[in-house]
Amino acid sequence: MKLYLKIWRQKDAKSKGAMVDYTLDGVEEDMSFLEMLDILNEDLIAKGEEPVEFDHDCREGICGTCSLMINGRPHGPDSLITACQLHMRSFNDGDEIVIEPWRAKAFPVIKDLITDRSAFDRIQQAGGYISVNTSGRPVDANAIPIEKEHADDSFNAATCIGCGACVAACKNASAMLFTSAKVSQFALLPQGQVEAAERVQNMVRQMDLEGFGNCTNTGACEVECPKGISLENIARMNREYLSATLKG
Amino acid sequence: MSLIKSSLARKYVMALSGLFLVIFLILHVTINLASVFSPEFFNEASHFMGYNPLVQFLMQPILIAGVIVHFVMGFVLEIQNRKARDVGYVKYNGAANAPWASRNMIYSGLVVLAFLALHFYDFWVHEMTYKYIEANPQDPTRYYAETVEKFAPVWRTVLYAVSFVLLGLHLWHGFASSFQSMGVNNKYTAGFKKFAKIFAVVVPLAFAFIAVYHHLNPITH
Ligand code: HEM
Ligand code: SF4
Ligand code: FES
Tell me which of B6, B85, B104 to substitute to probe the interface with A (most A C-beta atoms closer than 10 Å).
B85
Helix/strand/coil for B186:
coil
**CB contact, 8 Å: B103 with chain A?**
yes
Check if the beta carbon of residue B170 is closer than 8 Å to that of residue B4.
Answer: no
Q: Using CA atoms, how far apart are residues B45 and A233, in angstroms rounded to an integer? A: 45
Compute CA distances B34 → B114, B140, B147, whole Å.
26, 15, 12
Ligand 1: centre distance to CA B173 (Å): 9
**Centroid of ligand 3 to alpha carbon of A87 (angstroms):** 13
A79: contact with B, CB 8 A cutoff: no
C-beta atoms of B77 and A238 within 8 A: no
Indicate if ligand 2 lies below 6 Å from the C-beta of A229: yes
pLDDT of residue A141: 72
Nearest to A219 among B84, B90, B102 (CB): B102
B162 touches chain A (CB under 8 A): no
pLDDT < 70: residue spans in chain A = 134, 136
pLDDT for A132: 79
Measured in angstroms, the CA of A133 and the nearest CA of chain B are apart by 30
From the candidates A238, A240, A243, which should be mutated to test the interface with B, based on the most B CB atoms within 10 A? A238
Alpha carbon distance A130, A100 (integer Å) = 36
Q: What is the pLDDT of residues A112-170, one digit of tens each?
A: 999 999 999 999 999 999 987 767 677 777 788 899 999 999 999 999 999 999 999 99
- Residue in A217, A242, A246 to test binding to B, most B beta-carbons within 10 Å: A217
ipTM of the complex: 0.95
* C-alpha–C-alpha distance, residues A197 and A126, integer Å: 12
Q: Per residue, what are the HEC states of chain A?
A: CCEEEEEEECCCCCCCCEEEEEEECCCCCCCEHHHHHHHHHHHHHHCCCCCCCCCCCCCCCCCCCCCCEECCEECCCCCCCCHHHCEHHHCCCCCEEEEECCCECCECEEECCEECCHHHHHHHHCCCCCCCCCCCCCCCHHHCCCCHHHHHHHHHHHCCCCCCHHHHHCCCCCCHHHHHHHHHHHHCCHHHHCCHHHHHHHHHHHHHHCCCCCCCCCCHHHHHCCCCCCCHHHHHHHHHHHHHHHHC
Q: What are phi and psi of A82, to 5 degrees?
A: -90, 170
Which ligand places an atom closest to the C-alpha of A238? Answer: 1
CA distance B204 to chain A (A): 22
pTM value is 0.96
CA dist A46 and B113 (Å) reads: 59
For A24, counting Cβ atoms within 10 Å of its Cβ (0-12 exposed, 13-18 middle, 19+ buried), the class is middle
pLDDT of B145 over the 90 cut? yes
Structural domains of chain A ordered from first start: 3-111 (3.10.20.30), 118-247 (1.10.1060.10)
CATH class, range B2-82+103-216: mainly alpha
Of B3, B96, B180, which has the smallest distance from its Cβ to A231's Cβ? B180
HSE-CB at A169 with a 13 A cutoff on CA atoms is 28
Q: Is the pLDDT of residue B182 over 70?
A: yes
H or E element that contains B199:
helix B189-216
Q: What are the boundaries of each domain within chain B? A: 2-82+103-216
Mean pLDDT calculated for residue range B50-61: 95
Cβ-nearest to B97 among A224, A239, A242: A224
Q: What is the mean pLDDT of residues B99-119?
A: 98
Number of Cβ atoms within 10 Å of the Cβ of B201: 12
Tell me: pLDDT of B137 over 60. yes
**Most distant pair of Cα atoms in chain A: their distance:** 64
Residue-level pLDDT at B154 = 98
What is the model's pLDDT at position A139? 72
CA of A228 to the centre of ligand 2 (A): 8
Check if the beta carbon of residue A150 is closer than 8 Å to that of residue A188. yes
Distance CA(A25)–CA(A8), nearest Å, equals 19
Which ligand 1 atom sits closest to the C-alpha of B182?
16
Given a cut of 90, is residue B56 above it in pLDDT?
A: yes
Can you give the pLDDT at residue A152?
Answer: 97
